[in-house]
Amino acid sequence: MSSGAYEAAYEASMQDPEAFWAEAARGIDWINFPKTVLDESNPPLYRWFPDGRMNTCFNALDRHVIAGRADQPAVVWDSPVTQDSRTYTYAQLLDLVGRAAGMLTALGVQKGDRVVIYLPMIPEAVVSMLACARIGAVHAVVFGGFAPAELAARIDDARPKVLITASCGVERTRVVEYKPMVDAAIDRSQHPPESVVVLQRPQAEAAMGERDIDWRTAMRPDGVGAAGCVPMLGSDPLYILHTSGTTGRPKGIVRDNGGHAVALHWSMTHIFGMQPGDVWFTASDVGWVVGHSYIVYAPLLAGCTTVLLEGKPVGTPDASTFWRMIEEHKIAGLFTAPTGIRAIKKEDPEGTLIAGRDLSSLRTLFLAGERTDPDTWQWATDRLQVPVIDNWWQTETGWPICANPIGTQLFPIKPGSATMPSPGYDVQVLDAEGERCAPGQEGALCIKLPMPPGTLETLWGDDDRYVESYLSAYDGYYLSGDGGYIDDDGYVWVMGRTDDVLNVAGHRLSTGGLEAVVAGHPAVAECAVIGVADELKGQVPRALVVLKGAEEPTEEEQERIRAELTQLVREQVGAIAGLQRVDIVAALPKTRSGKILRRTMRQLADGDEPQVPGTIEDAAVLDALAPVLRRR
Ligand code: COA
Ligand code: AMP
């Protein structure tokens, strides 16, 4: 870590990206080192390391065992909700993954086939993902908090041969039965999997049907042989991860094998400052990109120990969980979302639960998923006495677009800023005309193409949608969907989404998806869902609905409809999308062309100065709504 090291790395990545990433590619093992580093023959689609041959699982497991890390813990599972914990060394994990890969092979899964994984935060989630990588199957992990309709949409997009699930997940306050949700999703899907592998958990055993296979039986060492690593091209897909866009239809982000392994491996040292053997804990969920990249792949590619928490920062059992874990597991790097820290701060404002804990192993706290607000940053900095580092990225990019690259050079921290663009990312702020904004001027945060390795290749089965969604607003640029600015010192400030994507407790949700559910209620004529500011979760969804019929319903009827709508969203999207409030209103404000003014409503609800477009159809509608929006 030296002064000027960042600039040298960043400049090198801009001047000669191919040389920069070819060098980084030497950090992983290849069967055939790539001859082509970047294939630019089909812009705006780019491929990294297309002719290199490697296997991601080999790089995450086998090579560490070969290099002498067989007995080092690879995964530590800590489950306060079940009062259980388990540690797997690299050798033990390799054994399990080999057998899980053998089980999938026996079920007919071949290279390129898809496997949907719908699991809670248990080691089998990591095992399943790596087993897919081992045999070249493409995994599509679906967050366990999503309801059957959302799961069904992802099944239909991925068309998996096999689905892996557990009988249940254990949440803070309840046991969530997964298997009935899987059955319901399969019932409504057009392309159901041939087999469903079920891990039975004692908290709620699942009823098994014809296509169901018991995980433990299928994994018995005497019943299944271990599968070896299938050589993959660098540009072959490793996984699909669905994320929310503005419409209800999720986008299947496609990640490759080679670029992903190179970038994630490189990021662990150069951005996060971790070394092989370090203990690393990301408190997220394997169903999100933060979980894919920094619970599973990056720490294992880098030879670290990754800690998996089945629990929450608070309530399992209290706000000391993270501190206990740092002490017990000797965690060097902790990565979570600001909302997790806010939840702890709310329960234990003075941080009294930190006292008496030995946190001396902790070197850095990393925060991502939403902007780190300066209050949260200050609280964590004061209490933990380590650098607290905000980093900005998205499902699409897979690793930080911007960070304070402590592994290369630590910049003075400006709370609220994501600091510097990571090497490989040419971040530009563009105005509506596509011109570069001056320092300090807010605009659309864009990345000049080609993006670095590890970023999305395309959308699953839909290059056109990829180009249309991300690459067509500004020629030659990737549109991040976030707005912000770059200050005079080159620090990047991310100010929030410029589209209708919601961010609830670091979970990304689609306004359009929620509106489709609300609009599906028979009493609703029209609706809008907006994300309003929330002290704990950053944003929470709020619905405004116009009812059918000329007569105003009684207060009792309104109450019933409000409750039904809240329930409908929980059932169809998931509990994570809990509507904070539902207001029944006479009309929604629109432009003359019929576009609902969600942003203006959100500004009113948040107490910000509303920007009312000149094209508003009827300003009186907005005036009438203002007092309703200001209600909490
Ligand atoms: N399976 C099933 N249900 C789930 C679930 C899962 N994997 N994850 C969440 N849910 C349910 C919860 O049980 C809860 O249900 P309830 O309303 O019946 O109690 C609901 O979804 C909302 O969960 P959550 O958003 O987690 O809120 P919370 O109030 O339980 O916890 C925080 C609040 C801030 C502690 C929690 O959101 C958190 O730990 N966030 C950390 C940030 C994070 O992991 N972000 C991910 C991206 S980095
Ligand atoms: P996801 O794809 O679910 O990871 O969500 C990505 C979105 O979360 C981004 O487009 C941002 O809007 C937001 N986000 C993530 N990290 C940050 C951050 N550090 N600062 C500001 N916004 C962030």
pLDDT at residue 223 greater than cutoff 70: yes
Q: What percentage of the chain reaches a pLDDT higher than 70?
A: 100
What gap in Å lies between CA 387 and CA 380, rounded to an integer?
Answer: 9
What gap in Å lies between CA 228 and CA 94, rounded to an integer?
Answer: 10
What per-residue confidence (pLDDT) applies to 163? Answer: 98
What gap in Å lies between CA 191 and CA 140, rounded to an integer?
Answer: 14
pLDDT tens, position by position, 229-262: 999 999 999 999 999 877 778 899 999 999 999 9
Look over the chain and give the mean of its residue pLDDT values, rounded to a whole number. Answer: 96
What gap in Å lies between CA 260 and CA 237, rounded to an integer?
Answer: 10
- The DSSP bridge pattern shows strands 279-282 and 333-336 to be parallel
Counts for the chain of helices (H) and strands (E), in that order: 20, 32
What does the longest C-alpha to C-alpha distance in the chain come to?
A: 75
Residue listed under structure tokens 């699953």: 460
* Helix (H/G/I), strand (E/B), else coil: 61: helix
pLDDT at residue 399 greater than cutoff 90: yes
Ligand 1 atom index nearest CA of 283: 44
201 confidence band (pLDDT: 50, 70, 90): very high
Q: Which residues pair with 494 in a beta bridge?
A: 484
- The DSSP bridge pattern shows strands 237-243 and 251-256 to be antiparallel
Pocket residues: Cβ below 6 A from ligand 1: 120, 144-145, 169, 171-173, 176, 284-285, 288, 290, 312-314, 337, 339-340, 343, 369, 505-507, 575-576, 578
Give the residue-averaged pLDDT of 266-284: 98
Which residue's alpha carbon is nearest to atom 4 within ligand 2? 394
Global pTM value: 0.95
Q: Which residues pair with 333 in a beta bridge?
A: 280, 364
CA 106–ligand 2 middle distance (angstroms) = 39
> With DSSP H G I counted as helix, E B as strand and the rest as coil, what are the percentages for the chain, rounded to 5?
35, 25, 40
Residue 261 in contact with residue 301, Cβ under 8 Å?
A: yes
Nearest 5°: the CA angle 363, 369, 373 is 75
What per-residue confidence (pLDDT) applies to 2? Answer: 60
Ligand 1 atom index nearest CA of 143: 7
pLDDT at residue 101 greater than cutoff 90: yes
CA 433–ligand 2 middle distance (angstroms) = 24
Q: Which ligand is nearest to the CA of 290?
A: 1
Nearest 5°: the CA angle 346, 538, 76 is 70
Q: Which ligand is nearest to the CA of 503?
A: 2
What gap in Å lies between CA 164 and CA 356, rounded to an integer?
Answer: 42
pLDDT tens, position by position, 557-611: 999 999 999 999 999 999 999 999 999 999 999 988 888 999 999 999 999 999 8
499 confidence band (pLDDT: 50, 70, 90): confident
What per-residue confidence (pLDDT) applies to 245? Answer: 79
What gap in Å lies between CA 283 and CA 55, rounded to an integer?
Answer: 27
Nearest to 280 by CA among 98, 173, 271: 271
Query: Which tokens sit at 611?
Result: 């920007």
CA 412–ligand 2 middle distance (angstroms) = 22
Give the residue-averaged pLDDT of 71-88: 98
What per-residue confidence (pLDDT) applies to 322? Answer: 98
Residue 478 in contact with residue 398, Cβ under 8 Å?
A: no
Q: Where are the domains of the chain?
A: 5-485, 505-630
What gap in Å lies between CA 431 and CA 192, rounded to an integer?
Answer: 45
Residue 134 in contact with residue 229, Cβ under 8 Å?
A: yes
Query: Which tokens sit at 381?
Result: 């900095």
Pocket residues: Cβ below 6 A from ligand 2: 243, 288-289, 368-371, 390-395, 418, 481-482, 494, 497, 503, 508
DSSP state of 353: G
Give the residue-averaged pLDDT of 418-434: 97
Ligand 1 atom index nearest CA of 120: 7
pLDDT at residue 632 greater than cutoff 80: no
627 confidence band (pLDDT: 50, 70, 90): very high
Q: Residue-wise over 338-355: b if at least 16 C-beta within 10 A, else e?
A: bbbbbbbbeebeebebbe
Give the residue-averaged pLDDT of 431-457: 97
What per-residue confidence (pLDDT) applies to 246? Answer: 74
Residue 313 in contact with residue 321, Cβ under 8 Å?
A: yes
pLDDT at residue 1 greater than cutoff 70: no
Q: What percentage of the chain reaches a pLDDT higher than 90?
A: 93
Q: Which ligand is nearest to the CA of 498?
A: 2
What gap in Å lies between CA 182 and CA 192, rounded to an integer?
Answer: 10
Q: Which CATH class is domain 505-630?
A: alpha beta
Q: Going by C-beta distance under 8 Å and a sequence separation of 6 or more, which residues neighbour residue 366?
A: 272, 333, 334, 335, 336, 389, 391, 403
Give the residue-averaged pLDDT of 364-368: 98
Task: Specify the fold of 5-485.
Answer: Rossmann fold (3.40.50)
